[in-house]
Chains A and B, each alone.
Chain A
Amino acid sequence: MRERIASHFDPFVIPFLIGMAFVLGYCLIAMIRVIAQLPKADRKRFLVSLITPKYIWINIRDIFLNCLIHVKLWKRNRVLGFMHSSIAFGWFMIILLGHLEVMLFVPERIHLFYYPIFFNYFVAETESTIQGSLLMFLMDFFLLMILSGIAIAIIKRFASRIVGMRRTTRLSLLDQVGLYSLWAIFPLRLLAESFTAHISGGSFLTIPTNWVFRQFLGNDLNALPTWWAYSIALCVFMCVLPFTRYMHIPAEMLLIPMRNAGIRIRHPRKGFALLEVYSCPGCGVCIDACPMSVRKANCKDCTVYLNRQLRRGNERRIEEISDKCLLCGKCTAVCQVGAQGPELRVAQRERRKYALSPSFAGINVRPMASAVVNGAGGESGGVLYFAGCMTQLTPSIRRATTSLLDKAGVRWQMMDPDGGLCCGRPLMMAGRSEQARELIAKNLEIIRASGCDTLLLSCPICYRIFKEEYALEGIRVVHHSVFFQELIAAGKLQVQREDGLKLVWHDPCELGRGCGIYDEPRAALAAAGEVIEAGKHHAESICCGGSLGSLTLSFEQRRPMVQNALDNLTVENPSEIVTGCPLCLATFVRAADRPVRDIAEVLDSHS
């Protein structure tokens, strides 16, 4: 081992140093800005979590698994998983091993920032020691790993279908600069190390390459230009990084601890939302997942493009994208960094100014409250069934639910026999949460007056808001699919199994992705017939297209989405489509080629 350069410096490291200083400075300022923009309580919560041992461990584990290994991506698509982890983990290992080499061989140079990166230029090493040959082997091994990842990336860019992506994002100009400089870094490193390999040593990759090139370029002077090129490629990549999708690399490292601390989006442009926008890697997985993208015109309204427009500050498009979305949450379910597209859009809708705001504080709910008090007949406990607005459009659900309650001998009464107030969720989806809170207060008055111990909902839209936003301590909030499954399991409800009946369960967005209820409805249906799965199901089920989340989609625009959702449900040719949401039901019934029924109707007709 000997140091080749007496001054320990060469001008070619300057571009690298400029790039590194720029990107570190930028990220530091951005990080301080994001943390400063958090509301005070959130900021305190986050900073405390950073020094809590439990969170420290979780954060390190999550950053390692998500940022370096890309575990979520591996589960989804192995080729893409390999591509990302080979580049991220390989690069990380090369940097780590570079530092290790400096510490082992020239510890007095560890303060030189560039030494670990350009180690082979400054230090000639020998393979004769085990340390040296092992380190050089590992360096070559990880470089090969990265190069294989880059090769897949190049294939993916030109033919995304080969790696299993139907659509991918269209890159902006700076993204392209970042992409091509990233592709260039590692082949250039291979060249630079190869040209130096006969002086500084190398391993299974660099020595043969060195030998090949020396056959026709037998000149040591080739080494320096390639080191320059390597350094310049690093500089270009780091200088454009903050303005490209590669900003997700540093941003995600802050996003993970912040999410673990339980921080939520409060403002569409500040704090956590800003961080999420910058954490979007622009991979475009959400494009294929989005139910709207069955029509090509809607592809540009997916979360990846919302994030891009938010970075550019294109107000017109931001408004358009925010209002169009169905808020089904599928983009979040498939997103590799867990960017919350729906929450971001609702936050955006909440910023909107209105000349006229509804007011519900003055509504007199005393008649409704006294009706449930009389209905309870002085007894406390029992089930209060809230059918909700949508169920009034689909009275069959209400009939079936009440019939099942009678058959099971449950003591129940209705909260809205003659129609009631809305639960508030549609207002919240439209970004009018203040008005929704007024409705919540009114509904709470009625529920509290009834003295019930269980609140039964047949609509997942209601179910979600009753669970998340209502202060209903001591009252169990339950969706009817779960309630009936429990009654069946307890033997209180006898359901006859019909042979040859093939049922497919459609996971409503608000019930599945919204509240995590997947298994109970399937278990309940299994008592009536054979339950088969749709093409995409559970967390990846496709929105029916009727969602109240979208403000602007017209009936005509929704039609292809409804058809797409139906096609997905009928791949296994079920005899009946079953759902647990009156809105899904009303949407499907109009377009389906076979019976569509609510889970309560199916259970009622078999008991």
Chain B
Amino acid sequence: MDFGFKLSPSSAVNLDTVDHARYDRLVRLEPDALTCIGCGSCSATCTAAPWSGMSVRKVILGLQRGRDDEVDAMLSRCMLCGKCTMVCPRGINTRHLILTLCRLNRKGEVVR
């Protein structure tokens, strides 16, 4: 029977089961990440956003919530154009933050 709608899977985040290793390491390497106020300026200017949904704000949020697959999908679309850095009201070097994140594996280790 098709009711025209269906139940969607729960999107609840259980923080107890989230591994924060990558986020913790990022914060140690890029302490500026802590100053993010989630204003979304980066998302608004992102060149990749229209066709990929990339958003630095969501990347930082996703890391905190253990949404690793979403984070990686977004990171793999970044073209490093640097516009997010230019508009960040907190002066976060988001471009370098993305590069640093790409160097970390899921356990939060810097690959060599």
Contact = CB atoms under 8 A, between A and B. Distances in A.
Contact of B81 (A364, A390, A418): A390
Interface in A322-368: 323, 352-360, 363-364
B101 interface: yes
Contacts of A419: 47, 50
Interface in B58-112: 72, 75-83, 85-88, 91, 93, 95-96, 99, 101-105, 111-112
DSSP class of A's interface residues: helix, strand, loop or mixed?
loop
A396 to B, nearest CB: 15
A426 B81 contact: yes
Interface in B15-61: 32, 45, 47-48, 50-51
Contacts of B88: 555
A543 to B, nearest CB: 15
A346 to B, nearest CB: 13
Interface stretch (A75-83, A530-538, A546-554): A546-554
B103 A586 contact: no
Contacts of A353: 103, 111-112
Nearest to B71: A356
B93 A552 contact: yes
Contacts of A27: none
A49 B86 CA distance: 46
Interface in A363-388: 363-364
Given A356-B72, A548-B82, A418 B50 contact: yes
A356 B75 contact: yes
B82 A426 contact: yes
Nearest to A363: B51
A110 to B, nearest CB: 57
A552 B94 CA distance: 10
Contact of A357 (B91, B95, B102): B102
B103 A389 contact: no
Nearest to A438: B79
Contact of B111 (A323, A355, A552): A355
Given A353-B103, A556-B91, A359 B76 contact: yes
A409 B83 CA distance: 32
Contact of B95 (A358, A420, A439, A551): A551
Nearest to A416: B47
Contacts of B32: 554
Which residue, of B47, B93, B101, B104, has the highest number of chain A Cβ atoms within 10 A?
B47
Nearest to B22: A355
Nearest to B78: A358
A358 B81 contact: no
B93 A554 contact: yes
A427 B79 contact: yes
A356 B91 contact: no
A426 B80 CA distance: 6
A430 interface: yes
A551 B81 contact: no
B102 A551 contact: no
A358 B79 contact: yes
Given A356-B76, A358-B75, A555-B93, A393 B105 contact: no
Which residue, of B32, B45, B78, B86, has the highest number of chain A Cβ atoms within 10 A?
B86
A422 interface: yes
A408 interface: no
B52 to A, nearest CB: 8
B89 to A, nearest CB: 10
A354 B32 CA distance: 21
A432 interface: yes
Contact of A393 (B77, B80, B87): B87
B47 A355 contact: no
Contacts of A548: 80-82, 95
Contact of B103 (A355, A359, A390): A355
Interface in A394-434: 418-422, 424, 426-427, 430, 432
Given A353-B103, A357-B102, A426 B79 contact: yes
B9 to A, nearest CB: 26
A356 B102 contact: yes
A392 interface: yes
B81 A389 contact: yes
Given A426-B79, A427-B79, A355 B105 contact: yes
Contacts of A418: 50
A424 to B, nearest CB: 8
Contacts of A427: 79-80
A388 B101 CA distance: 25
Contact of A551 (B50, B79, B87, B99): B99
A589 B83 CA distance: 15
A418 B50 CA distance: 9
Contacts of B48: 422
B86 A393 contact: yes
Nearest to B106: A355
A553 B86 CA distance: 12
B96 A551 contact: yes
Interface string A549-574: 00111111000000000000000000
B80 A552 contact: no
Contacts of B91: 554-556
Interface in A99-152: none
Contacts of B51: 363-364
A308 to B, nearest CB: 24
B81 A432 contact: no
Contact of A390 (B72, B83, B99, B105): B83
Given A392-B83, A418-B50, 5 more contacts: A355-B105, A393-B86, A548-B80, A551-B95, A551-B99
24 contacts: A323-B96, A355-B103, A355-B104, A356-B76, A356-B102, A357-B76, A358-B77, A360-B79, A389-B79, A392-B45, A393-B86, A393-B87, A419-B47, A419-B50, A420-B47, A422-B81, A426-B79, A426-B81, A430-B80, A430-B95, A548-B81, A552-B93, A554-B32, A554-B93
Sorted nearest first, the 5 A-B pairs with minimum C-beta distance are A422-B79, A555-B91, A389-B81, A355-B105, A389-B47
Interface of A: 323, 352-360, 363-364, 389-390, 392-393, 418-422, 424, 426-427, 430, 432, 439, 546, 548, 551-556, 586
